[in-house]
């Protein structure tokens, strides 16, 4: 049974594509996703949001979710929303780092905050406002809507015993983590989720990371890669968002905008709640099928952390808003970590 049905009953029913209706009556949005339609957790989250928003607003604001490529290719969603070619998008915000550098950090920070701290920074520590300032010149409204739990470190067909094993490795990895591995001699690239399996199968890449175990299972990586490494140093937590063309957003009433924002706030809670339970069982299933689940050796993680700091500082030197966000996250983490360290309990019970 899907996550959507476990929580909210049946998913959205597909409808005929039409232009958004905005005015004194209801608002109907077509939403272009960067993920395949219905993909476990990531794609389903958009469907849950659409159903939630429709119920909360009594049909005053509704969304129709389209999978990657249905309206525009996955990596063209931001530009399509910016220009108004589509009214809204559902994304992992780090995909836009080439255009909006700060999104690479706000999406996922290597060796950065855990989901709870990242959520607190985004919603109460100024993160949302920093990203919105970057989006303003692109005519895009940014609404953080889903936080993903720590991801695995990736799927490999060879053991990673030292950082030298990354030398020459062709790997699909998104965000700042890819820049880190490039420093270690890897050849990295970003490929949309729906295209990764074929790229790995045909040898275009030799390793990949994508998301949580249940999502990796849905994409079939366990069928073509032997080693499953942890932890996900490159994405201890990551953000998906709903983006809306600013003209469309301004055309909504205050009440309609409130419905959208509060539905997204509720969706963040959903994303944190549903991620925990199924992952352990999925890892056990992988192991039963022959996958070797490993942790990166401590010296490898130490080197990855060192090079991550270099990349973060280099990116901050290039872009003032990136630097502002990095300084903000570091300061927020320092305060949160002080609180968390004082609250740590001895774990002697199973």
pLDDT digits (tens, 9 = 90+) for 57-115: 999 999 999 999 999 999 999 999 999 999 999 999 999 999 999 999 999 999 999 99
How far apart, in Å, are the Cα atoms of 121 and each of 142, 257, 341? 15, 22, 18
pLDDT digits (tens, 9 = 90+) for 161-193: 999 999 999 999 999 999 999 999 999 999 999
Would you state the structure tokens that stand for residue 208, as one six-digit string?
């990949």
C-beta separation of 84 from 248 below 8 A: yes
What pLDDT band is residue 20 in, cutting at 50, 70 and 90?
A: low
- Which pTM value belongs to this model? 0.91
What pLDDT band is residue 6 in, cutting at 50, 70 and 90?
A: very low
CA distance 164 to 161: 8
Give the model's pLDDT for residue 346.
87
How far apart, in Å, are the Cα atoms of 100 and each of 39, 107, 322, 326? 26, 11, 9, 14
Q: Which of 114, 82, 155, 106 is nearest to 336 (CA)?
A: 114
CA distance 53 to 55: 5
What pLDDT band is residue 25 in, cutting at 50, 70 and 90?
A: confident
**Residue 90 DSSP symbol:** E
Please, what are the domains in the chain? 3-147+237-276 (3.40.190.170), 154-235+282-340 (3.40.190.10)
Would you state the structure tokens that stand for residue 215, as one six-digit string?
């999502």
CA distance 195 to 298: 32
């Amino acid at each position: 049974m899907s996550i959507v049905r476990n929580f909210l009953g049946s998913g959205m029913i597909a409808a005929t594509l039409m232009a958004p209706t905005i005015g004194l009556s209801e608002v109907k949005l077509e939403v272009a996703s960067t993920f395949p339609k219905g993909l476990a957790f990531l794609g389903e989250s958009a469907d849950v949001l659409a159903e939630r928003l429709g119920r909360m607003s009594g049909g005053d604001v509704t969304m129709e979710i389209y999978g990657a490529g249905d309206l525009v290719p996955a990596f063209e969603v931001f530009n399509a929303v910016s220009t108004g070619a589509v009214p809204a998008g559902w994304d992992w915000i780090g995909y836009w780092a080439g255009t909006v550098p700060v999104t690479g950090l706000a999406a996922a920070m290597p060796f950065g905050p855990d989901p709870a701290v990242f959520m607190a920074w985004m919603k109460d520590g100024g993160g949302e406002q920093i990203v919105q300032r970057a989006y303003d010149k692109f005519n895009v409204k940014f609404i953080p809507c889903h936080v993903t739990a720590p991801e695995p470190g990736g799927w490999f067909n060879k053991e990673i015993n030292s950082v030298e094993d990354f030398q020459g490795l062709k790997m699909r990895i998104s965000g700042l983590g890819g820049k880190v591995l490039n420093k270690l001699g890897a050849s990295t690239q970003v490929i949309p989720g729906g295209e990764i399996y074929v790229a790995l199968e045909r040898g275009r890449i030799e390793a990949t990371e994508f998301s949580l175990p249940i999502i990796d299972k849905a994409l079939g990586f366990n069928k073509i890669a032997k080693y499953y490494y942890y932890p996900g140093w490159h994405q201890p937590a990551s953000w998906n968002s709903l983006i809306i063309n600013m003209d469309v957003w301004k055309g909504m009433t205050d009440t309609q905008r409130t419905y959208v924002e509060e539905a997204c706030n509720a969706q963040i809670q959903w994303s944190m709640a549903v991620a925990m339970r199924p992952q352990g069982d999925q890892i056990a299933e992988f192991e039963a099928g022959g996958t070797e689940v490993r942790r990166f050796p401590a010296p490898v993680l130490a080197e990855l952390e060192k090079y991550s700091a270099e990349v973060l500082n280099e990116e901050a030197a290039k872009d003032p808003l990136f630097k502002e966000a990095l300084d903000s996250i570091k300061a927020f983490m320092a305060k949160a970590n002080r609180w968390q360290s004082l609250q740590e309990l001895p774990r002697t019970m199973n």
